[in-house]
Structure 1
Amino acid sequence: MSQYTDGFLLPLPKDKVEEYRAISSKAGQIWKDCGALEYREWIGDDLQVEGQMPFPKAVSASENETVVFAWITYESREHRDAVNVKVMADPRMAEMMAPSTCPFDYTRMYYGGFSNLVTA
């Protein structure tokens, strides 16, 4: 059975990195508690690659923002769907889901589900 991954890319104000780290650490624990195989978030470091479309441009990041690149891995798409139902029902998520307390502009977040193409 091939694994399934949800991926996302989002702009994050540089002065909100530690606030976001605290929230994403909690979210990661919730996803893992609900059955996700892996939860990873990465902060932009080398984002200006000449001749390529840089991630900051994709999310319309300002000079005061960086980019978070992340994924959550599951056994399958069906497993992802079941895990996400549990995550959304988890009371720990309620406090983190309010748009008014979100440290980034979630309307500029890119998200998608991906089936495995190559494993090397």
Structure 2
Amino acid sequence: MSYIQGFVTAVPTAKRQAFEEHARKAAELMREFGASRVVDGWGVDVPDGKVNDFKGAVAAKDDETVSFGWMEFPDAATASACFEKMMADPRMRELGDMPFDGKRMIFGGFEPLMDEGEAVSGGYVDGFVIPVPAANREAFRDMALSAWPIFRDHGARRDVEAWGVDVPRGTVTDFFRAAHAEDGEDVVFAFLEWDDKASRDAGMKAMMEDERMKTMPPEMPFDGKRMIFAGFEVV
């Protein structure tokens, strides 16, 4: 089964170029070590939330921008081997210091519940982190599968909903705290890929007017007030 390693990071806005250069060089090595795809997104539409949000997830400061990214692997074993190779390869150290505070980066391993559509090269990404009761795993998957045709018909290119299976607790922050997850809840890492932001904005507007939205279940299998979301352009 495929496997996703997800990340959220706070990057000094002034260091965007350094971040992009570091990300590109690291991605080349990660693909050599077994990753099938590496994506890094730069926050361009990161709203403040009433309960929680992406900025709070990584304790972002006023002069920092949130980055949302992931690596895709054919399976968890390949992901584990990749990270072992990364730690042992001197070329990783030659990349120099990371252009962000690694102590506030949150990360985890996720198993896709659904993966529909085709990946976009570049483009725009809607990223989500969602706390879901463990008992509602299948209900969440069913809801996501029901919504996908509506997203697809209005321009979304790919929808991935991935369930946390190896999500560590952090000393500063982590995915559980980011989502304000409660006992008995797991974390979902999800993303929608679009060709560009204009396609996304038009598609979301059209979705709200689509009659099929009225047939969606009135109650979501999670607390929507604690779902965090934002828009990112792929760097």
TM-score (norm 1): 0.88
Partner of 1:36: 35
Structure 1 unaligned residues grouped into runs of 5+: none
Amino acid in structure 1 at the alignment position of 2:100 = F
Partner of 2:179: none
* Per-residue deviation, residues 84-111 of structure 1 (Å, max 9, x unmatched): 2222222210123x6xx32111110001
1:66-77 aligned at under 5 Å gives the runs 66-77=65-76
1:17-96 aligned at under 5 Å gives the runs 17-48=16-47, 51=50, 53-96=52-95
Secondary structure at 1:60 match in 2: coil
Which structure exhibits the higher relative contact order, with contacts defined as CA atoms closer than 8 Å and separated by 6 or more residues? 1
Displacement of 1:77: 0.6
* Per-residue deviation, residues 38-75 of structure 1 (Å, max 9, x unmatched): 00000001001555632112111111000110100101
Give the count of matched residue pairs.
116
Larger Rg: 2
1:78-117 aligned at under 5 Å gives the runs 78-96=77-95, 101-117=97-113
Q: Which has more strand, going by share of residues?
A: 2
- Alignment check: 8 A CA contact 2:9 2:66 kept: yes
Distance (whole Å) between structure 2 residues aligned to residue 116 and residue 85 of structure 1: 22
Q: CA RMSD for the aligned pairs?
A: 1.5
Percent identical: 33
Distance (whole Å) between structure 2 residues aligned to residue 87 and residue 50 of structure 1: 36
TM-score (norm 2): 0.47
